[in-house]
Structure 1
Amino acid sequence: MAVVLGGYTVALLGVSFFIVVITYITYQLLSRHLHKWFQMKPIPEIGGTFPIIGNALQFKTNARDFFCQIVDYTREFQNTPLLKIWIGPIPFLILFHAETIETVLNNPVHMDKAYAYKFLHPWLGTGLLTSTGLKWRQRRKMLTPTFHFSILTEFLEVMNEQAEVLVEKLEKEVGKGPFNCFNHITLCALDIICETAMGKKIYAQSNYDSEYVQSVYKMSEIIIRRQRMPWFWPDFIYNYFGDGWEHNKRLKILHSFTSNVIYERAEYISYNESDSESDQGIRRRAFLDMLLKTTDEDGNKLSHQDIQEEVDTFMFRGHDTTAAAMNWAIHLLGSHPEVQRKVQQELQEVFGASDRPINTEDLKKLKYLECVVKESLRLFPSVPFFARSICEDCHINGFKVPKGANAIILPYALHRDPRYFPEPEEFRPERFLPENSVGRHPYAYIPFSAGLRNCIGQRFAIMEEKVVLASILRYFNIEACQKRDELRPLGELILRPEKGIWIKLERRKPQTAPY
């Protein structure tokens, strides 16, 4: 009897201890939650907020519908300097005015990425996109020289070659009626980033079924889905009830591919360094080659893990964003024949009847085409929103914002501010001519973010877009087959059209085509 009672007492103590622990954790969460809630109460919010889960139940699970919700909120609260929502117990401020965005992006204190970026860590580690604090500062300093313009020009050969492959594929679509060009453009961008970032040809334009290619796209879908659903944020719930198994499967494929490429490239470089002219053994330089030789202030080289973080980041951010931008630009050019004719006139002045590759001097002369690229990014920024963590108590437009809150910056809404872009839904490349840009707020247009954490690869992206778009327009006339309201943008990690970009092509100069 004593043994039974003793066992009962131990069990009761165990249950009591468990209840105390859960109560303490709940109290801590609630106290922090309530503390922030009271501090941020004066900030306008969308309403319908519940304890712990916040506004999560109000949000649509479909990516497009969710994005449209957020954009609709910015229209509803257009004259409100900032807007508050809760995703789970975490407060987010939605910023879509240049003045409030500058407060965050121009302050070196608020450099950390928001909580939702932690779901990128299994894939990208803490590379340049996701790292914070000292590591980010050191890594940015180390990597900046690899994006110098003189080095970027070495990648023009790759861009021209892959653009030529794309032109040959598009030639087969001439005269066949409407087709979806989205994958054609995206696979071209993927081939470009693979060869320039890793020195590895994957022939994505002819081998779309590649396991690596499929995993890049699948992983992006998995991550954005988890970011919208706070009940899947705890790892153990995600692994048992969410996409944990598929996530880990794709992660293994991605990491195995890049790890093997890094190892092979390092061996190849090491072998060729025995030659007095060490770089002659490598036909072309890649970002990876420079990463393998990069050292910090103390002369230490990056580790294999460090390099893999950056290579995976280049692959993730270096092709999808540029591909999306080019696709949106193609739709806009196909919808505005008068703009297309101006671009082709500029191309005629630069190239005449020649079919030669594009060089750096040509790129400098293609000023109107660059305006087209910029205006396309205004209407359809490749990254429709991004987030920062507020790292210390601050005031934004007179409202107190506590440390630990998150700020969602929404370029898609920001770029439609009529104060800086009159008739914002109109496609007008002339907005970006130098004389028309004078006096515009520096944070009114941020397709590559802004401030200290602006995109390190923006010059690479603009160069690639100009090369590929120029290559297409030298040989084809484009006719868009969708109206603007039929595009139905999906606001995921990248802004995509829900059903692709449908166009018709007409051959311009068959006698000078390179096939």
Structure 2
Amino acid sequence: MSLLAVLGLTAVESYALQRTVLQDSELTLSGIALRLLAVNLFLKLFYHAVIWPRLLSPLRHLPQVKGSFMSAQIMFDQPRGKSPLKWMKTIPNDGLLHWRDTVGNDCLLATNHAALLDIMSTNTYDFQKPGRVAEFLARVIGYGLILSEGATHKKHRKALNPAFNIKNIRALYGLMWEKTGLFLEGLEGDMKKNPWAEAGTSAEKGVGKVEMSEWASRLTLDIIGPAAMGRDFRSMQSSEHAVADAFMSILEPTKEKIAFLGINFIFPQWFTRALPWKLNKVITNTTGVLRSLCLDIVREKRATLISTKATAKELETDILGTMMVGGDFTDDELVDQMLTFLAAGHETTASALTWACYLLTKYPEVQTRLREEIRARIPTGDSPITYADLESLPLLNGVCQEVLRLYPTVPMTVREAVRDTSICGKFVPKGTRIFICPYAINRSPTFWGDNGDQFLPERWIDIKADADGVDREVVNHNGGASTNFAQITFLHGQRSCIGKDFARAELRCAVAGVVGRFRFEMQDPKQEIHIAGAVTTKPVEGMHLKMERVEGW
């Protein structure tokens, strides 16, 4: 007789009892599994939050940046780089500051010559742009020189270097000056359309209103087009500005775009592209237009090469032709490079010109002295110039250098250690994020003393006696700093901006033209200008100037 029968249970009751016992057993096993999972998660979090950073991390002894959400704070700084500059000034360190971001990544901020040297030169290829940062930027500028890494970067850099040597850049001064002339005509036309009139008064003759940042973007676009790809966009003469507007739709300095950038840097592209965010559509449509334009230009140039059998010398009149002659790039790679040059080659200098105008409204005495220097060397705005005319002007050089120092177009960049390496003799494990902050380095008291925040073009001017013993002002190229790593607007080393000499030449021409012909000030002298931008720095409010033509040039 069975035990169940002895207990007097029926078959149905017996089945129900067995099922209950089995369910209780399953619940117990499930509960155990859930508890084990919870314990494992807790231990993992405890390890990453407490044991690793406090007891094991090789970075734990470095000076710490205190606070929460430090990486997010950097992203939303206005201006970006303000917080790192404060940390450099207030936290004693030997080249590195350390914090951990909200997801547990170790982060370092480079603060001195030795650290910057290791990151940019000694161990350059140990550090790459983080994958999600690169993936997002590639949506806009393709995998050109800025985003290529390792052996690919070395190959492409070597192939492009000839196009950017100083001899070729100096040969472009004529083009840059010609476009600057058209730029000045465009500004005058805009002034006539928008004459200046104070409340209750008649318009002043020859005085008008101009929004400089938009005009600066058109000028630099019309220079990079012919120089990079043999295509004149004529955006200064046209009422339609498709390419300039395309970049503006992406780079306009709004909080929404900064937030969008942050989301793309945190989450993978498959996730962020799926978000019902209007900016996703804007970027997709805009980059599609730009990529199609660049592909058309590449195909046209390729067809011309085949049909006309143009010589290498004829093709090398622009950067695209130089790349085609070398044969190192496929058509898709050429498109990526063109996107990179279009974005980096016009937006950066446009930003610098805008900030130059801003600083010269704040320092009208410098503006006046600069106008006198320019006019003494260049008889009229229509006079032809050579590179020597502009590169030898001490105050022009000093103004341009201070603009680039105080307002670096890209104020912050980030790298990630792709292997175990070292910085300043300190072991840096794979996966560590490295922040390089041109805005902070370029103003740091370590390099520039207590007046690093001040606009002082005289830093870049030396006094030397000539053959007759007369003291004269001459250009210097270090600003009085003891190392070239004191200014990292264009970075340094193998990954420095390949177009830095192009950008400087372009800025010299534009500033000389504007200051030589116009006197200008802010439309509203009391207006507070805010520095922002998703990638590059721009004035949030635009740069609204009151401009007056100064006769005689």
Greater Cα offset, 501-510 or 434-443: 434-443
Greater Cα offset, 455-464 or 353-362: 353-362
Distance 1:355 1:410, change over 3 A: same
Measured after TM superposition, the shift of residue 189 of structure 1 is 0.7
Q: 2: CA distance between counterparts of 1:68 and 1:439?
A: 21
Q: 1: CA distance between counterparts of 2:180 and 2:238?
A: 16
Q: Aligned residue pairs: how many?
A: 484
Measured after TM superposition, the shift of residue 36 of structure 1 is 6.6
Measured after TM superposition, the shift of residue 492 of structure 1 is 3.2
* Contact 2:217–2:244, Cα closer than 8 Å, also in 1: no
* Contact 1:216–1:254, Cα closer than 8 Å, also in 2: no
Measured after TM superposition, the shift of residue 330 of structure 1 is 1.4
Find the partner of 2:141 among 124, 149, 154.
124
Q: 2: CA distance between counterparts of 1:60 and 1:389?
A: 16
User: What's the counterpart of residue 364 of structure 1?
Assistant: 391
User: What's the counterpart of residue 22 of structure 2?
Assistant: none
User: What's the counterpart of residue 3 of structure 1?
Assistant: none
Q: Residue 42 of structure 1: SS of its match in structure 2? A: coil
Q: 2: CA distance between counterparts of 1:500 and 1:201?
A: 26
Find the partner of 2:379 among 352, 355, 361.
352
Q: Residue 106 of structure 1: SS of its match in structure 2? A: helix
Distance 1:410 1:486, change over 3 A: same
User: What's the counterpart of residue 146 of structure 1?
Assistant: 163
* Contact 1:128–1:139, Cα closer than 8 Å, also in 2: yes
Measured after TM superposition, the shift of residue 460 of structure 1 is 0.5
- 1:41 matched to 2:60? The reply is yes
Q: 2: CA distance between counterparts of 1:504 and 1:342?
A: 19
User: What's the counterpart of residue 20 of structure 2?
Assistant: none
Find the partner of 1:271 among 307, 325, 331.
307
**How far does the alpha carbon of each residue in 1:106-125 deviate from its partner, in whole angstroms, 9 at most, with x for none?**
22344543212332123333
User: What's the counterpart of residue 456 of structure 2?
Assistant: 428
Greater Cα offset, 184-193 or 264-273: 264-273
**How far does the alpha carbon of each residue in 1:134-169 deviate from its partner, in whole angstroms, 9 at most, with x for none?**
111111111101112222233233312221121012
Residue type of the alignment partner of 1:82: L
User: What's the counterpart of residue 10 of structure 1?
Assistant: none
Find the partner of 1:325 among 330, 339, 352.
352
* Contact 1:113–1:388, Cα closer than 8 Å, also in 2: yes
Find the partner of 2:325 among 293, 296, 312.
293
User: What's the counterpart of residue 260 of structure 1?
Assistant: 296
Q: 2: CA distance between counterparts of 1:90 and 1:440?
A: 33
Residue type of the alignment partner of 1:217: M
User: What's the counterpart of residue 339 of structure 1?
Assistant: 366
* Contact 2:312–2:325, Cα closer than 8 Å, also in 1: no
Please give the residue correspondences for 1:400-415 in structure 2 after superposition, counting only pairs within 5 Å: 400-415=427-442
Measured after TM superposition, the shift of residue 42 of structure 1 is 3.2
- 1:305 matched to 2:332? The reply is yes
Measured after TM superposition, the shift of residue 434 of structure 1 is 4.9
* TM-score (norm: length of structure 2): 0.77
* TM-score (norm: length of structure 1): 0.82
* Contact 2:407–2:439, Cα closer than 8 Å, also in 1: yes
RMSD: 3.7
Greater Cα offset, 485-494 or 328-337: 485-494
User: What's the counterpart of residue 269 of structure 2?
Assistant: 235
Q: 2: CA distance between counterparts of 1:401 and 1:147?
A: 34
Question: Between the two proteins, what is the percent identity of the paired residues?
Answer: 24
Q: Residue 521 of structure 2: SS of its match in structure 1? A: strand
Q: 1: CA distance between counterparts of 2:524 and 2:544?
A: 6
Measured after TM superposition, the shift of residue 268 of structure 1 is 2.0
* Contact 1:369–1:466, Cα closer than 8 Å, also in 2: yes
* Contact 1:358–1:467, Cα closer than 8 Å, also in 2: no
Q: 1: CA distance between counterparts of 2:441 and 2:64?
A: 18
Following superposition, which runs of at least 4 residues in structure 1 exceed 6 angstroms of deviation? 25-32, 482-485
**How far does the alpha carbon of each residue in 1:382-404 deviate from its partner, in whole angstroms, 9 at most, with x for none?**
12112222244344456542122
Q: 2: CA distance between counterparts of 1:61 and 1:414?
A: 17
Q: 1: CA distance between counterparts of 2:485 and 2:74?
A: 30
Please give the residue correspondences for 1:57-136 in structure 2 after superposition, counting only pairs within 5 Å: 59=73, 64=78, 68-77=82-91, 81-85=95-99, 86=101, 88-110=103-125, 112-115=127-130, 116-136=133-153
**How far does the alpha carbon of each residue in 1:3-31 deviate from its partner, in whole angstroms, 9 at most, with x for none?**
xxxxxxxxxxxx9xxx9xx99x9899979
* Contact 1:125–1:309, Cα closer than 8 Å, also in 2: yes
Residue type of the alignment partner of 1:329: A
Distance 1:66 1:439, change over 3 A: closer
* Contact 1:67–1:491, Cα closer than 8 Å, also in 2: no
Find the partner of 2:505 among 463, 468, 474.
463
**How far does the alpha carbon of each residue in 1:212-256 deviate from its partner, in whole angstroms, 9 at most, with x for none?**
332223334698544422686222321222443333222211211
Greater Cα offset, 79-88 or 386-395: 79-88
**How far does the alpha carbon of each residue in 1:446-499 deviate from its partner, in whole angstroms, 9 at most, with x for none?**
111012211111111111111111111221122245669922111531111221
* Contact 2:136–2:265, Cα closer than 8 Å, also in 1: no
Q: 2: CA distance between counterparts of 1:403 and 1:93?
A: 12
Distance 1:158 1:250, change over 3 A: same
* Contact 1:258–1:308, Cα closer than 8 Å, also in 2: yes
Measured after TM superposition, the shift of residue 45 of structure 1 is 4.1
* Contact 2:82–2:440, Cα closer than 8 Å, also in 1: no
Distance 1:508 1:220, change over 3 A: closer
Please give the residue correspondences for 1:473-484 in structure 2 after superposition, counting only pairs within 5 Å: 473-481=515-523
Distance 1:121 1:509, change over 3 A: same
Rg (Cα) greater in structure: 2
Q: 1: CA distance between counterparts of 2:179 and 2:281?
A: 35
Measured after TM superposition, the shift of residue 47 of structure 1 is 4.2
User: What's the counterpart of residue 11 of structure 1?
Assistant: none
Q: Residue 425 of structure 1: SS of its match in structure 2? A: coil
Gaps of 5+ in 2: 1-29, 196-205, 464-475
* Contact 1:197–1:314, Cα closer than 8 Å, also in 2: yes
Greater Cα offset, 395-404 or 411-420: 395-404
**How far does the alpha carbon of each residue in 1:379-437 deviate from its partner, in whole angstroms, 9 at most, with x for none?**
11112112222244344456542122121111111111224323122211111125774
User: What's the counterpart of residue 195 of structure 1?
Assistant: 226
Find the partner of 1:383 among 410, 419, 430.
410
Distance 1:89 1:374, change over 3 A: same
Find the partner of 2:243 among 212, 236, 248.
212
Distance 1:482 1:105, change over 3 A: farther
Greater Cα offset, 500-509 or 223-232: 223-232
Distance 1:240 1:121, change over 3 A: same
Q: Residue 498 of structure 2: SS of its match in structure 1? A: coil
Q: Residue 420 of structure 1: SS of its match in structure 2? A: helix
- 1:164 matched to 2:195? The reply is no
* Contact 2:124–2:494, Cα closer than 8 Å, also in 1: no
Q: 2: CA distance between counterparts of 1:109 and 1:291?
A: 25
Gaps of 5+ in 1: 1-14, 296-300
User: What's the counterpart of residue 531 of structure 2?
Assistant: 489
* Contact 1:272–1:279, Cα closer than 8 Å, also in 2: no
Residue type of the alignment partner of 1:251: T
* Contact 2:126–2:421, Cα closer than 8 Å, also in 1: no
Q: Residue 503 of structure 1: SS of its match in structure 2? A: strand
Distance 1:405 1:208, change over 3 A: farther
Distance 1:59 1:414, change over 3 A: closer
Greater Cα offset, 427-436 or 487-496: 427-436
Q: 2: CA distance between counterparts of 1:228 and 1:44?
A: 26
Residue type of the alignment partner of 1:187: R
